[in-house]
Structure 1
């Protein structure tokens, strides 16, 4: 910077002002002039009278405080770069000021001369670049072309009215968004490549491509990309000028389509157009002759009428010749189908339409006609006929019900084992004597009607549903129904569906489920018995040791086994196979622990606060039970030395995140409903009012087996463990659990 930089400093602290002046004297590598003011009003008046190149401002002045100080200065002249000076406690305010338009902020006590020098230079140069870009944007604001600027990382920084008209976005909607929002999905990489070419120093002019409007319409544009350089000839941004050439492109395409229409009609639709001069017997052909017949156009043009009809299949030839000769003698029209032999000897099915023109005397002189290859159509008709035959055979043997319904879900067509499935006749339903929903079990009707209404509101939607009906004789049967909305816009509503009897399958599933529950219940019973055997073995083994510490270790292991055995006992007695009422289990577990640590005549109390019906699965209940066993046992063993009373408290509560029910429609439009549960955040606290844990115990590096086990199990549950020693001991365990009921 060769020009002397005029600097205005807002600072009421003489020490801070002198420090800024000293840093500038030592480190500024540009000529400058510094003016210091101590109040906001003094500085604002000075700004009205004298231009400055940069402003340094403290936010706490005698007559102003906080970000409002910056806003007042910025409101006087937003074109002057402003650098905020903040205390360490005001750094948040400095950030807010930058968001509002300040160029930078510096923290007092952390800034040095080099940083101050660099910040001033950076702020001035960046402001110049911004002003230059803004100036260019103002010049072209009224242009009909889209003129915009993007940063080097692809963010749109300016947007004129022409761009708003062409792309449909207002400046408020588009500024700050990535340039890729304007690119169709297939051209995102092309957009990146254009930017890279500019960065490599290339110039791109009148590049034709496609862009995406806000309304989703793809338009054709011609774009010119130019680099935006700062005073040091360094690339800072990219300017883009885009012209909408959609109308021109459409005109070109329409012209091309017009030129090719004749060729497309005759060539790509399997049609040949012919003009037969009856006086010369010369036939002129047009179209893709070689593709349809196998003959070259030159060969085909040389065929006379007699030669040409000689290629008609012998089985069709006599009738065709008779009809064609009639109109060539009397005039009129002819339409017919026949088989025509190709050059390779195979035949194709031809659809022939011709008109015979007559002169003023009524004599035929010219025949104009179209010959079309309808082989695929004929094959399709044959396939359709076979398909209809197969469908008819299928319906004859179909054991379900096929149904077609009107807009009120009244059947207008029924086919299949209607009476066998319902006990009612087809006429009962078609006449309205009995409605289908009347035979649906009452508790299943609402969900069936709900799905029917969704299908009614969604064209082409297909739904599947299983429900029960009651036959005429009172027997209940399970039905699997598939229905689809086949209504078309502007036409009457129609629905089609199939109904199957799945009672046998449902009964089999129910039997399997009962067997599975019995099997799992028996497994829980056996596991419980085996765990109790292990507990008894531990108890017997402990009797062989005199060392009290060894006996205690066996007792603790025995309690851990019992905590798991109680879970299987609870599952067995409750009849559940995989979910556990944790409240009932906790009550049994704590009663067992208190029995093991006989407190005699001492007044020790247990407080248990847990919702009566809290259900967990095995993977959660087992580790939680062991955790409770370890921590409550620790309290009873160590928390109340030389005391005859105490309180141990266990509390389990939750913070609901809630669940939701989702209706999912697959790629075929079939709706499936399923339940989804979000995790529930549970907090368990285990506390006592005893002497508390020693300060030397560290949960992360504990040497005791019990606390090590607690830490491992909390990690297994992906939870958090916290220890408080305020009044006694309190363990806080936070875990996220998906409840099962």
Structure 2
């Protein structure tokens, strides 16, 4: 007892009170009641905890009897105290392992060397459908389908021969007659003397995995058949498109047999990668079909075009598990479209060139006709002659538009600022004669491109306003200034607006001079000249 309590007999006298001091505080009341009860009944047999002299907590088993005097008075207590700490810890470990086995989702059971089931956990009940009461004591061959009878016996023999059986895949029969795929691991169970006494089996139901493997196998077969039969480029992508799982390039693109995380850099041109990636990300976000025509780097290193279309394959939860796609080589089509576009541009340029030439012919004819009247003194200053000159100016303004279109790279829009400069200079040369010194100042927005529907009427307006300034603004002066301004006008309320209509850019065109100005009694609505009608 002194050894168990960590005491030395010569240094310590054991009394009942000092004995209770070494009992664990939480167990003192329990021990005291057991001892007092024994004084009446004669004995006690209990387990309790003590705290030894060195502070270590131990568990002891005490079996004691009360010694009575002749007068039946308790004299002493005589008994045995055993340290059962290690035994208790062993039982706790065993219980812990038993709890783990019982709570496992895997089937865990044991059988004797003759195949008799001796233990059966909850996981085994779920996998095979038998309760412990139904299967304990029966031969494990109950779980074998007819075509596999005797397989478990052979596996037990292999374990007896010290062979490891791990993740062995086979078929087993449930209580309801359903065949299931299982993966089993068999382990030997030894007695305390080291003798093989049983075999433990851990089994996992892999039926769903097998079905998925079969679906995948058939999918692979269909994919290979499709690749073999198709003339298209066939490819498969990971859910996030980071890896190309496979690509059959048909000589158009380089083949990819293994996972390829660098496919984007290998197949797509650097300047096209942001756009292609943006379309891919949108398809991933919406789980919709990816469809795009884009440039690619062909197997021979040259640049080609492909029309690519991929569909997402979804699992039962609606999540993408893979992308399956096909691409067509449209390089020749794109080259033909580009050639046609160039031909169309050339044709449009030729049309503008011919229109310009025809308008110049009309201008020359008007000039010749005006010259005929110019030699007749009676109508030299008449409205007829002025009308010829004004019409000629208008024709020239339209001819200049077609000339700008002919010189430009496109044919649908023209650089209006450049056009205004040339138009104003032509008008200045036409009207400024003698000693009259007219200074033309222009402040024009750079690269202001307008289409024909905008450029033609604006050109006519500039023609009329500049012509009027040259004809009427400086009657008695030797010098003057005409200003032409073209600038953008931003709408402050629309600067941060997400409304696309609100973000349309407005341009302001101003023609002014420092001449005599407009008469005070000038009435715009009463003027019926062609020029003012065009302006208004």
TM-score of the two chains, using structure 2 as the length reference = 0.53
Distance 1:632-1:413 versus aligned 2 partners, 3 A rule: same
1:475 to 302, 305, 310: 302
Are 1:443 and 2:268 an aligned pair? no
Q: How far apart are 1:688 and its partner, in Å?
A: 1.1
- Contact 2:310 2:325 (C-alpha < 8 Å) held by counterparts: yes
- Contact 1:407 1:493 (C-alpha < 8 Å) held by counterparts: yes
Distance 1:620-1:660 versus aligned 2 partners, 3 A rule: farther
Distance 1:490-1:436 versus aligned 2 partners, 3 A rule: same
| Greater than 6 Å deviation, 4+ residue runs | 332-335, 388-394, 658-662
Are 1:628 and 2:455 an aligned pair? no
Computing the radius of gyration from Cα coordinates, the structure with the larger value is: 2
Partners of 1:659 and 1:465 in 2: CA distance: 33
* Partner of residue 407, structure 1: 239
Are 1:532 and 2:366 an aligned pair? no
Are 1:590 and 2:421 an aligned pair? no
Q: How far apart are 1:634 and its partner, in Å?
A: 0.5
Partners of 1:504 and 1:676 in 2: CA distance: 39
Once the two structures are superposed, the pairs formed by residues 314-463 of structure 1 within 5 Å of their partners are 395-409=227-241, 410-414=243-247, 416=248, 418-422=249-253, 424-427=254-257, 430-432=258-260, 435-458=263-286, 460-463=287-290
| 2:393 aligned counterpart, secondary structure | helix
Partners of 1:512 and 1:659 in 2: CA distance: 40
Distance 1:490-1:699 versus aligned 2 partners, 3 A rule: same
Q: How far apart are 1:612 and its partner, in Å?
A: 2.0
Partners of 1:469 and 1:626 in 2: CA distance: 48
Give ranges in structure 2 of 5+ residues lacking alignment: 1-174, 179-219
Partners of 2:349 and 2:422 in 1: CA distance: 19
Are 1:465 and 2:295 an aligned pair? no
Q: Deviations over 1:66-118 (max 9, x none)?
A: xxxxxxxxxxxxxxxxxxxxxxxxxxxxxxxxxxxxxxxxxxxxxxxxxxxxx
Distance 1:656-1:438 versus aligned 2 partners, 3 A rule: farther
- Contact 2:353 2:402 (C-alpha < 8 Å) held by counterparts: yes
Q: How far apart are 1:393 and its partner, in Å?
A: 7.5
Partners of 1:390 and 1:677 in 2: CA distance: 53
* Partner of residue 375, structure 1: none
Q: How many residues align?
A: 310
- Contact 1:631 1:686 (C-alpha < 8 Å) held by counterparts: yes
RCO higher in 1 or 2 (8 Å CA, sep ≥ 6)? 2
| 1:499 aligned counterpart, secondary structure | strand
Q: How far apart are 1:497 and its partner, in Å?
A: 2.0
Once the two structures are superposed, the pairs formed by residues 492-571 of structure 1 within 5 Å of their partners are 493-545=321-373, 546=376, 547=379, 548-549=381-382, 550-571=384-405
Q: Deviations over 1:623-661 (max 9, x none)?
A: 101100101111111111111111111111122468999
Q: How far apart are 1:591 and its partner, in Å?
A: 0.8
Partners of 2:303 and 2:318 in 1: CA distance: 40
Distance 1:461-1:679 versus aligned 2 partners, 3 A rule: same
* Partner of residue 415, structure 2: 581
TM-score of the two chains, using structure 1 as the length reference = 0.39
1:689 to 488, 500, 514: 514
Distance 1:516-1:390 versus aligned 2 partners, 3 A rule: farther
Q: How far apart are 1:579 and its partner, in Å?
A: 0.8
| 2:440 aligned counterpart, secondary structure | strand
Q: How far apart are 1:432 and its partner, in Å?
A: 3.3
- Contact 2:246 2:259 (C-alpha < 8 Å) held by counterparts: no
Distance 1:677-1:439 versus aligned 2 partners, 3 A rule: farther
Q: How far apart are 1:618 and its partner, in Å?
A: 0.7
| 1:583 aligned counterpart, secondary structure | helix
Give ranges in structure 1 of 5+ residues lacking alignment: 1-331, 336-387, 663-674, 712-741
Partners of 1:434 and 1:608 in 2: CA distance: 55
Distance 1:694-1:541 versus aligned 2 partners, 3 A rule: same
Q: Deviations over 1:589-632 (max 9, x none)?
A: 01110111023322211111111211001111111011001011
Q: Deviations over 1:402-425 (max 9, x none)?
A: 3222234223354x5x14111x23
- Contact 2:442 2:484 (C-alpha < 8 Å) held by counterparts: yes
* Partner of residue 52, structure 2: none
Q: Over aligned residue pairs, what C-alpha RMSD do you find?
A: 3.2
- Contact 1:455 1:484 (C-alpha < 8 Å) held by counterparts: no
